[in-house]
Structure 1
Amino acid sequence: MNAALLEESTRTLNARHCALLEAALSPLLPHGGRYALVDFPDHSNVGDSAIWVGERVLLRKLTGRDPDYVSTIRSYDQAAVDALPPEAPLLIHGGGNLGDLWPRHQQFREQLIAGNRARPIVQLPQSIRFGDDKRAAEFKTLLAGADNFTLFVRDRKSQVFARETLGLEAALTPDSAVGMGPQKRSRTADQQALILLRTDHEAEGGRQGALHEIERAMIVDWLDERDDFASRTFKNARRKSLLALRFARQARRLDFYDLLARGRVERGLDLLSRGEVTITDRLHAHILSVLLGLPTVALDNNYGKVSGYIQAWTSDYAGLRQADTQDEAVAALASLSSL
């Protein structure tokens, strides 16, 4: 497929998506205003780190400053948040964990809403998935007393669910990873297809077979990282903080989080760069492939998160094909390779 055409399609989409995100967030984040950003993705999944990197770029552009407080789920300190001015918003990292699929993140979100009734809380773009109607009803009850809570979602199905089931109007925006902007390949492709498939409980079953028959293809997920990655990154972050004379605890923590996230994103971009075409059922492998200007064949996860995002935001990407089965993905690969 024509590389210049894909590059232009990437630039056009990304400019539009970033403008929409900035317009949606700017009324809540005045330039120079203080804020907290919590639920740092302290795990190896590249997609969540891509969201963090994009959030940091967008928030820095809008506010002109770094967050005053950052934390993971485990390190969250309510007293530190209480010490911020009451108008400083509490921003919750975006992603695909609003609901009962990833209960620790939902429990943390509910803890924040219950414990910060007077402070503005902004949930950055999410997908919603509840499998248990009772849990959804419980969350609706919590939200009924939370006029300070603002929700952004990434797909229309989540927007409708928020309105009809949770009783909450949610704004529809692209995923924050687009804040990274267009990316460059880190290497020359050595595979016809980089096939990146989920190995967790969001994977769609019943797809065995056809993808394994593609010549010059790698089938991988992107959850594995070096055992010493975190410790090496911690040392590099400490060195960076010292050289920049950043001695405050929050500044040093932010340097560490940013290096962790960027290192994971670089690993993901390098992996995707190995393929002439990406075949994936991971949303952020699709989003990063678009940012790289790569042809991509999109399968879905088990509850429609990928197709819902594509329908809302990337259906007009020049290098996109969608597939429901592995056989369809192989046919889509052939159609892309022939262009």
Structure 2
Amino acid sequence: MSIHSWKINLAEWLLLKVKYPSQFVMGTNRIQAAAHKKKIILTLLPSHDNLGDHAIAYASKAFIEREYPEFDVIEVDMKDIYKSAKALMRLRHPEDMVFMIGGGNMGDLYRYEEWTRRFVIKAFRDYKIVQLPATSHFSDTKKGRKELKRAKKIYNAHPDLLLMARDETTYQFMKRHFTDKPVLKQPDMVLYLDKSEHRAEREGVYICLREDQESALGEEHRHRLKDALAGEFGDIKSFTTTIGRRVDRTSREEELESLWSKLQGAEAVVTDRLHGMIFCALTGTPCVVIRSFDHKVMEGYDWLKSIPAMKLIEHPEPEMVTAAVKDLLTKGTHDSGFPRDQYFKGLRNKISGEGK
């Protein structure tokens, strides 16, 4: 591989180096253990505090281990792929592949993550690369258009890149801009899991609302909503999918199981987080869904709208949300009802190009 294929924009390189100061320290013991074996390199794994992204990583690994049992899985965190790429290529098996976890970081909103994705696509040019289900958002700004132009150049240059969209808007966007690449529409990988078997005594209404750049609610609106719920249902318990402490591969499952266990004890949940909604689907928890600033939650709900205990509120005035919670509490809990086999059975064949 030419050294030129490793080049990225200088500004991107410097900012990535500041964000990930340890990325240039080589360490290959774990990689060398898989030498001469067929490997799937699972990368873009998070090490931050967002349990939604960690659930995607957890589910992606579960999918690969079950569907590709003859392959070893090499997990590489987003911050570590820079130091591991050359070592992985030196120990390459002809059938090795790269899978990048999905999520909502394709675009200019989370540029470090997007730049790392481009690095992987450029560095592993001779590998089949699979981008698992993602949401794309390139803003209609000078910066957004510039980032999209770079992304198109890099994505379209790869000879064997498969893209998956987890919503219709992203699917159409990928088809329009990455014209030579196969594109599949698939649900978020977390929906590959099933955590509804455990039955717990349910008590209380829970709330999980964003307070960041992806929220469609202002601070005053959030307070009015919380006050209305408390006035109707008493003490409202809060949870968050961003837990305020770093999570890695060693603590990922424990943190996720703790949150899923909490949701299994909730009578109902109100959330504007995509994975707050998805976690409710996994655990069979009644859920009132509020839109976020873009299409991510609205179109994520499209995969789940057949679930009886799932209700979307597009214009979340407090009285509408409390009425929706009342309605779900009256109906009670149900099994998840998500048709996993319909979407994930045969996905390996689709990835290989054998399925439709």
Shorter-normalised TM-score: what interval?
0.7 to 0.9
Partner of 2:164: 152
Confirm or deny that 1:268 pairs with 2:259.
yes
Find the counterpart in structure 1 of residue 86 from structure 2. 79
Say if 1:216 and 1:185 are closer, same or farther in 2 by CA, change over 3 A: farther
Q: Distance in 1 between matches of 2:258 and 2:109?
A: 26
2:119 maps to 1:107: no
Give the partner amino acid of 2:325.
L
Alignment correspondent of 2:187? 174
Q: Which of 217, 224, 235 is the matching residue for 2:243?
A: 224
Moved more, 266-275 or 291-300: 266-275
* SS of match in other structure, 1:275: coil
User: What number of residue pairs does the alignment pair up?
Assistant: 278
CA 1:211–1:40 in structure 2 vs 1: closer, same or farther (change >3 Å)? same
Alignment partner, residue 13 of structure 2:
none
Name structure 2 gaps, 5 residues minimum. Answer: 1-36, 332-356
Shift in Å, 1:205: 2.7
Mapped partners of 2:321, 2:177: distance in 1 = 34
Secondary structure of the corresponding residue to residue 215 of structure 2: coil
1:36–1:68 contact (8 Å) kept in structure 2: yes
The alpha-carbon deviation at position 33 of structure 1 amounts to 4.5
Which digits, 9 at most, give the CA deviation of each residue in 1:89-136, with x for residues without a partner? 111112111111111110100001111211111111111111112211
Matched ranges for 1:57-206 at <5 A: 57-65=62-70, 67-76=72-81, 77-82=84-89, 83-131=91-139, 132-167=144-179, 168-184=181-197, 187-191=200-204, 193-206=205-218
For 1:235, the equivalent position in structure 2 comes to: none
Cα offsets for 1:168-227 (capped at 9, x unmatched)? 441001111122223345753331x111112332111333312322223123323225x6
State the TM-score, normalizing by the size of structure 1: 0.76
Summarize the alignment of residues 260-339 of structure 1 with structure 2, pairs less than 5 Å apart.
260-311=251-302, 313-324=303-314, 325-327=316-318, 328-339=320-331
Tell me, in whole angstroms, the C-alpha distance in 1 between the residues paired with 2:184 and 2:242. 30
Q: Distance in 1 between matches of 2:116 and 2:77?
A: 10
Aligned to 2:226: 211
Alignment of 1:230-249 (within 5 A): none
Answer whether contact 1:153 1:172 (CA < 8 A) is retained.
Answer: yes
Partner amino acid for 1:129?
Answer: H
Secondary structure of the residue aligned to 1:71 is: strand
Q: Secondary structure at the match of 2:270?
A: strand
Matched-pair contact (CA < 8 Å) for 1:40–1:72 = yes
1:39 aligns with 2:39: no
- Corresponding letter in the other structure for 2:123: G
The structural deviation recorded for 1:326 is 3.9
Q: State how far apart, in whole Å, the 1-side matches of 2:182 and 2:127 are.
A: 19
Secondary structure at the aligned position of 1:318 is classed as coil
Would the aligned equivalents of 1:185 and 1:269 in 2 still touch at CA under 8 Å?
no
TM-score using structure 2 length: 0.73
For residue 247 of structure 1, what is the aligned residue in structure 2? none
For the Cα contact (< 8 Å) 1:97–1:127, is it kept in 2? yes
Runs of 4 or more, structure 1, over 4 Å off, are: 184-187
Q: Which has the higher contact order (CA 8 A, sep 6+)?
A: 1
Supply the distance in 2 between the matched residues of 1:218 and 1:326 (Cα, whole angstroms). 20
**2:162 alignment partner, SS class:** strand
- In the aligned structure 2, how far is the partner of 1:153 from the partner of 1:33? 27
* Structure 2 SS opposite 1:141: helix
Structure 2 distance, partners of 1:260, 1:127, is 26
C-alpha contact (below 8 Å) 1:54/1:176 kept by paired residues: yes
Q: Kindly indicate whether the alpha-carbon contact (under 8 Å) linking 2:194 and 2:283 is maintained by their aligned counterparts in 1.
A: no
Once superposed, what is the RMSD of the aligned Cα atoms? 2.1
Partners of 1:186 and 1:103 in 2: CA distance: 41
Distance 2:163 2:99 in 1: 10
**How big is the shift at 1:66?**
6.1
